[in-house]
Amino acid sequence: MFPYLSFMTFFPLAGALLIALTPKGKDNLVRWIALLTTLPLLVAAVKIFCLFDRSLSTMQFVEGPYPWISTFNIEYFMGIDGLSVSMILLTALVSTVAVLASWGIQKSVKSYFALLLLLFSGMFGVFSALDFFLFYVFWEVMLLPMYFLIGIWGGPRREYAAIKFFLYTLLGSVLMLLVMLSFYFYSEGHTFNLLLLADQAKQLGPFTSTAFRHACWLGLFICFAIKVPVFPFHTWLPDAHVEAPTAISVILAAVLLKMGVYGIMRICFPLFPDASIYFSGMIAALGMINIVYGALCAMAQKDFKKLIAYSSVSHMGFCLLGMSSMTAEGFNGTVLQMFNHGTITAMLFLLVGVVYDRAHHREINGFGGMATIMPRYSAITTFAFFAALGLPGLSGFVSEVLCFMGGFKNYPIYTIISVSGVVLTAAYMLWAFQRVFLGAVNEKYKDFDDINMREVVTLVPFMIIVLIAGVYPKIALDLFNSTMTALSHAMGTLPVAGL
């Protein structure tokens, strides 16, 4: 079979190299090279979607394991299951849209698009790697491009936001490195193979000490919690979002945040099943805090982009609540919420970028009557806002309900409190919509051009997906239901203490 995963992981590097060799001043050529590099990735993702066997819970499109650094049993091992296939699809779509959304970048165009393609390579690698060392390499590969993309092309406080992002993520990386080395030295056969390690974990190995297993679990969880981000590790996110260019905000919210949840479900749960059960109540409590606290913070924001950033903190809390249940409903809801939030929040940040390009500010109270000035833009924003607040018939509703269904089984009190987040989300979304789009027209902006064709093209794919996944969620659930059901059965052999 064609090596789809290796192609999607390394083809962006070829595009980055070609951009580096492009003569100076050929900015339009650079943009087209970047776009023509990402379009084949989207085609490959569609092919994977068509070929993926929904009935299997095991790995598919497997490549390897091939010896890489044989002395230390480090292998090149790639593969995807139901957990990762939806993230591969989302990453391919977001990557293509991000290139289109970056078309207006004028500063150091070659460097920008080369770093963007390097970032894409790291993202695909994380979702495909089945060797812990390889996973760590790709995890680190993403760090530097994102640091420079925020720090060079961001807003007035870009250096502060970039350094804060770097330090938080680096702290998590150090913890992951320590746990990874522990696995290597204590595992049977000294392996980094995640599938073999998961098999050993079924006998609660390779660590015989419960306290040591719990300590390793907490180290990994903090690493991934920073990326989600989970309260109280969330403070880097609003700064990064506000200062980042629009396309980078889209990638950050739609893909990078999902890597935290993905890491917990890919590594923490299979490798530490007993510790995952033991700390499931903590996960549920943190999910509840994320949902309510994030929504309250979003309601207090005056910056349009910061409001969307805090809404991401809130909506990622649904993933935590769903996964804490250790049930098939909760796991399915978590993965569906990851995918749905990725598409919805990508729309929201793109829409904020549209109005920022025209007004050069994001103050919510500085607008007014935009529905009269930009009717097409207002109509699309209305659709995105209702998707974000979980309107039935749109994708956000289904995933949130599944997370609540799973969470209620084991943590009814946390779930009941979390439901208030739905009301709070409706409150801050509708209040923001009222201030921006309704009321008296702000005369300063009466001559604004409505949304253009390029901007519409970046939004329409997400709108179609949100509508289809809302009306017919089976098309998405079928991708990962078998894998999530198998994972819930594996975790269900241990008791969960509810609250």
**Which tens digit of pLDDT belongs to each residue from 151-168?**
999 888 889 999 999 999
Residues 401 and 463 in one domain: yes
Smallest CA-to-CA distance from 111 within 178, 34, 187 is with 34
Mean pLDDT (the chain) is 89
In the chain, what percentage of residues exceed pLDDT 90?
55
Residue 285 domain flag: no
pLDDT value at 494 more than 90: no
| Confidence at residue 339, expressed as pLDDT on a 0 to 100 scale | 93
pLDDT value at 375 more than 80: yes
pLDDT value at 498 more than 60: no
Q: Dump pLDDT digits (tens) for 10-62.
A: 999 999 999 999 988 888 999 999 999 999 999 999 999 999 999 888 899 99
Phi, psi of 100 (to 5 degrees): -65, -40
Residue 119 domain flag: yes
Task: State pTM to two decimals.
Answer: 0.91
Residues 221 and 323 in one domain: no
pLDDT value at 212 more than 90: no
In the chain, what percentage of residues exceed pLDDT 70?
97
Confidence of residue 319 (pLDDT cuts 50, 70, 90): very high
Alpha-carbon separation of residue 33 from 4, 53, 99, 200, 303 (angstroms): 20, 33, 10, 45, 34
- Which of 303-318 are b and which e, b meaning 16 or more Cβ less than 10 Å from the residue's Cβ? bbbbbbbbbbbbbbbb
| Confidence at residue 77, expressed as pLDDT on a 0 to 100 scale | 94
pLDDT (average), residues 232-250:
89
Last residue within a domain, chosen from 278, 310, 334: 278
Residue 482 domain flag: yes
Domain count, the chain: 2
> Rounded to whole angstroms, how far apart are CA atoms 463 and 466?
5
pLDDT (average), residues 346-367:
87
Residues 266 and 335 in one domain: no
Alpha-carbon separation of residue 259 from 90, 131, 236, 305, 459 (angstroms): 12, 16, 16, 21, 23
Residues 266 and 349 in one domain: no
Residues 200 and 302 in one domain: no
| Confidence at residue 492, expressed as pLDDT on a 0 to 100 scale | 65
| Inter-residue contact 7 to 125 (CB < 8 Å) | no
pLDDT value at 345 more than 50: yes
Residues 77 and 212 in one domain: yes
Confidence of residue 303 (pLDDT cuts 50, 70, 90): confident
pLDDT (average), residues 317-341:
92
pLDDT (average), residues 75-99:
94
Confidence of residue 150 (pLDDT cuts 50, 70, 90): very high
β partners of residue 78: 63, 129
Residues 214 and 318 in one domain: no
Residue 439 domain flag: yes
Tell me which residue range forms the domain holding 389: 297-499
β partners of residue 30: none
Residues 23 and 66 in one domain: yes
Residue 357 domain flag: yes
Residues 355 and 446 in one domain: yes
| Confidence at residue 208, expressed as pLDDT on a 0 to 100 scale | 67
pLDDT (average), residues 274-278:
89
Q: Dump pLDDT digits (tens) for 184-207.
A: 887 777 788 888 888 877 765 556
Last residue within a domain, chosen from 230, 246, 278: 278
Residue 224 domain flag: yes
HEC string of 154-220 equals: CCCCHHHHHHHHHHHHHHHHHHHHHHHHHHHHHCCCCCCEHHHHHHHHCCCCCCCCHHHHHHHHHHH
Last residue within a domain, chosen from 211, 245, 278: 278
| Confidence at residue 497, expressed as pLDDT on a 0 to 100 scale | 47
Residue 83 domain flag: yes
Pairing relationship of beta strands 74-80 and 60-69 according to DSSP bridges: antiparallel
| Inter-residue contact 185 to 196 (CB < 8 Å) | no
Smallest CA-to-CA distance from 450 within 384, 378, 383 is with 378
Residues 186 and 226 in one domain: yes
| Inter-residue contact 290 to 316 (CB < 8 Å) | yes
- Alpha helix ranges (H) inside 325-394: 328-359, 370-373, 375-388
Residues 88 and 24 in one domain: yes
Confidence of residue 362 (pLDDT cuts 50, 70, 90): confident
Confidence of residue 447 (pLDDT cuts 50, 70, 90): confident
Residues 271 and 328 in one domain: no
Residue 143 domain flag: yes
